[in-house]
Amino acid sequence: MATKCPRILVLVCSTRPNALGPAVGQWLTETLAPDAERLGVDLVPQAIGDLGLPFLDEEEHPSTGVHQHEHTRRWSRIVDGADGFVVVTPEYNYGMPATLKNALDHLGPEWAWKPVGFVSYGHTSAGTRAVQHAKQVVTTLRLVPLGATVALRIADAMREDRLDPEARHADAAQGLLAELVRVAHALAPMREREHAASVEGPLPGSYARRLGPDDAPEVTVLQRACWMEEALANDTLAIPALHESPADVRAWLADWHTTGLWRDGRLLGMVRTRRTGADLHIGRLAVAPDLRGLGVGRWLLRRAESAGEGCGRIVLSTGAASHRNLALYRRQGYVPLPEAQETGVVDLAKAVAA
């Protein structure tokens, strides 16, 4: 289930004064605006000429992701925040313009596992030779080029010095966007797994990252699957996690530090933490029912406890009849707090090791 609105960068490459590129970029974004809204994506125009990129002047290799200069760091943030790209490019001498090659060469891991489509323009070949040249480069950066393209032959696309592509060009652009969105969603797990903020998980192919409000639908589904078992064990439906809407979940995801464990786009487990005074509160420790007994819960609990540095104790709770949970927590050193024994909920705590 994909919840984040994909961000598609429309990259206009030509920097030549009075070039056709800006008009092609404007036509493309205006033509695709209804489809972008229907598909739930953001189309973000970006002209290479506005970036102020000199020829590559970084001391470190781009593959390291270490950038000294602000112009590179800014470009890195823009590319890192995108989920896919549409490159609007002319053809110069059987190849792509140096501006595009330089923009690609500035970065490394920011490009990986993102789809890229091409809208080319030119005379005899409609810019298609530039696209073939660019595809050799983008695949090295682990960008994934689409099969769908848009090729504008300038003589066919101009009407009295005004850009006016034919209907078939608009149809091709719509097909390109549809394919781009499908591939962007399919590649999302690859992007997340290799992102610098992700850590390797306990299961083969799994990775953990912080959850945010955009993950509310997946969290809602996981909660319903996990806490129904708790409801049966404790003979009550009065469990908040069973009744929260995605909007409720979105609200607390913005407030708690929540770690999610993922594999192939599926949320396998989660845990949330928050500090209150000298206490670290741990909650919503959840593991997909089909993955119980594989050490996922213990792994998530240790991840949560690592946030307890500087706290006096760690506090968590579970249902009084949730014997599996109680056994896990006791094995990890937690002891029940006596004041909460009559509520149907057991609060437990352990001291933070000095």
pLDDT in tens, 85-125: 999 999 999 999 999 999 999 999 999 999 999 999 999 99
Q: Which residues of 185-214 are buried (b: 16+ CB within 10 A; e: fewer)?
A: bebbbbbbbebeebeebbbeebbbbebebe
The pLDDT score that the predictor gives to residue 344 is 80
By CB neighbour count within 10 A (0-12 exposed, 13-18 middle, 19+ buried), where does 47 fall?
middle
Query: Does residue 242 carry a pLDDT above 70?
Result: yes
3-state secondary structure of 66: coil
The pLDDT score that the predictor gives to residue 286 is 95
Q: What is the dihedral of CA 157, 163, 164, 168, to 10 degrees?
A: 50
The stretch 185-211 carries a mean pLDDT of 88
Q: What are phi and psi of 152, to 5 degrees?
A: -105, 120
Report the C-alpha gap between 143 and 138 in whole angstroms: 5
248-252 contacts, C-beta under 8 A, 24 or more apart: 249/216, 249/219, 249/220, 249/223, 250/213, 250/216, 251/213
Nearest Cα residue to 157 out of 122, 117, 118, 129: 122
Report the C-alpha gap between 278 and 90 in whole angstroms: 61
Query: Does residue 230 carry a pLDDT above 60?
Result: yes
Sheet holding 266-276, edge to edge: 199-200, 207-210, 257-263, 266-276, 279-287, 313-319, 345-351, 335-336
Give the residue extent of every domain in the chain. 7-193, 207-351
Nearest Cα residue to 42 out of 75, 77, 84, 79: 84
Query: Does residue 196 carry a pLDDT above 80?
Result: no
Report the C-alpha gap between 348 and 238 in whole angstroms: 20
CB 178 within 8 A of CB 39: yes
CB 208 within 8 A of CB 198: yes
Query: Does residue 135 carry a pLDDT above 50?
Result: yes
The pLDDT score that the predictor gives to residue 1 is 38
Report the C-alpha gap between 291 and 323 in whole angstroms: 18
Location of structure tokens 């949730």: 322
- Mean residue pLDDT of the chain comes to 92
10 vs 264 pLDDT, higher one: 10
**In the structure encoding, which two tokens stand for residue 190, read together?**
């690859």
What residues contact residue 173 under an 8 Å CB cut-off, 6+ apart?
A: 28, 31, 32, 119, 150
Query: Does residue 306 carry a pLDDT above 80?
Result: yes
The pLDDT score that the predictor gives to residue 4 is 65
User: Which stretches within 106-160 are classed as H helix?
Assistant: 128-138, 154-157
The pLDDT score that the predictor gives to residue 341 is 55
The pLDDT score that the predictor gives to residue 2 is 42
User: Would you say domain 207-351 falls under CATH 3.40.50.720?
Assistant: no
Nearest Cα residue to 301 out of 197, 208, 213, 192: 208
CB 108 within 8 A of CB 63: yes
Rg (C-alpha) for the chain, rounded Å, is: 26
Q: What is the widest separation between alpha-carbon atoms in the chain? A: 85
The stretch 151-168 carries a mean pLDDT of 91
Q: What are phi and psi of 304, to 5 degrees?
A: -65, -40
CATH of domain 7-193: 3.40.50.360
Query: Does residue 3 carry a pLDDT above 70?
Result: no
Q: Which percentage of the chain shows pLDDT scores above 90?
A: 79
Could you tell me the pLDDT band of residue 354, with boundaries at 50, 70 and 90? low
